Amino acid sequence: MFLFQLIGVLNYELKYIDEFDFWYSLPVILPILFFLIYISVRIQKRAAKEDPLKKEVDDEITKIFSDKL
């Protein structure tokens, strides 16, 4: 959305921002959106692996909420 607004502001030929169509910024926004989705999937796959530290933290949180200190 920032790019959409920035392109609209930089386009000095427009009298009103409403004249700027969203479709002009779509080719710029879509690659960025797909890249962010790709990074999100990669991070989630990496985080899904069993991490001993995460297991310890989850155990401690469970102990705290169950009053088994």
Q: SS3 letters for the chain?
A: CHHHHHHHHHCCCCCCHHHCCHHHHHHHHHHHHHHHHHHHHHHHHHHHCCCHHHHHHHHHHHHHHHCCC
Task: Read off the pLDDT of each residue in 37-62 and give the average, rounded to a whole number.
Answer: 85
Q: Which residues contact 25 (CB under 8 A, 6 or more apart)?
A: 3, 4, 7
> What's residue 39's pLDDT?
95
> What's residue 36's pLDDT?
95
> What's residue 50's pLDDT?
72
What is this structure's pTM? Answer: 0.47
**pLDDT higher at 51 or 37:** 37
